[in-house]
Amino acid sequence: MKNGLLQSLQQLVLQSRCAMCQRLSFGLICPDCRRQLETCQLAIPLAFVDMLPLLAWGHYQGPLKQLLGRLKYDQQAQVARLLGQLLGVTWLETQSHHRQPIVVPIPLHKVRQRERGYNQSALIANSFCQFTGLNVMLNGLVRVRATAAQFSLSPQDRLTNVSEAFRVGPELAQKSRGSKIVLLDDIYTTGATINSAVETLSQAGFQVVEIVVVAKA
Ligand SMILES: [Zn+2]
């Protein structure tokens, strides 16, 4: 019995492969890939956009871009856990002592979420909040209409594509006005999506105190 268990454990360990290079690895990613991933980490993670703090773990390039791509295939839960933890470490190092903000991930539209089966930002938000101890509200924001895939649009169309794309979810609507919100997304590119979410929340009386993203383009 004991030997059987040991064998199963050994098989489990030996079967795990690096999420980036697919070589056999003891952890989610192998030491080589870990080192490469760390080259993407920003030296100064905190910036400001329109007076709002924007915290990003890394540059959207090379290994980090590859790992975020992996979120869309298999191993998504494990990759999200790792990314949420990396982001959590950075957040704890730079936090400006907001009292109990609610973490709200940027939602996917229902149709796209059904196609993919999950919202990668929600998975990262869960891990981030487990690590930091913050409260998460996965359905704090709801998409109100599908948006065409951003990459297929010109920069100008990207801006209009996401306008009025969100509404406050029923659970968040019950929270007191003035509640502090941290918005979380996987990638920050033009900022159009985030701006639209900030506007929706502000109009409903909530205070967005920070934006946190895994990667900044
Ligand atoms: Zn590797």
Ligand 1 centroid, distance to 22 Cα (angstroms)? 6
Ligand 1 centroid, distance to 19 Cα (angstroms)? 7
Task: Please check whether residue 124 is in contact with residue 83, taking contact to mean a CB–CB distance below 8 angstroms.
Answer: yes
Q: Return residues with CB closer than 5 A to ligand 1 (ion).
A: 18, 20-21, 30, 33
Q: What is the pLDDT of residues 104-159, one digit of tens each?
A: 999 987 777 888 888 999 999 999 999 999 999 999 999 987 555 556 666 666 55
Ligand 1 centroid, distance to 13 Cα (angstroms)? 15
Q: What is the pLDDT of residues 19-39, one digit of tens each?
A: 888 888 888 889 999 999 999
Ligand 1 centroid, distance to 102 Cα (angstroms)? 34
Average pLDDT rounded to a whole number, residues 42-70:
94
| Half-sphere exposure at residue 23, Cβ-oriented, CA atoms within 13 angstroms | 7
Ligand 1 centroid, distance to 75 Cα (angstroms)? 14
Ligand 1 centroid, distance to 78 Cα (angstroms)? 14
Domains and CATH numbers, the chain: 1-35 (no CATH), 39-216 (3.40.50.2020)
Nearest to 206 by CA among 179, 184, 182, 183: 179
Task: Please check whether residue 40 is in contact with residue 62, taking contact to mean a CB–CB distance below 8 angstroms.
Answer: yes
- pLDDT on residue 83: 95
For the record, the structure tokens of 25 come out as 């690895």
Stretch (H or E) spanning 166? strand 166-168
Q: pTM for this one?
A: 0.84
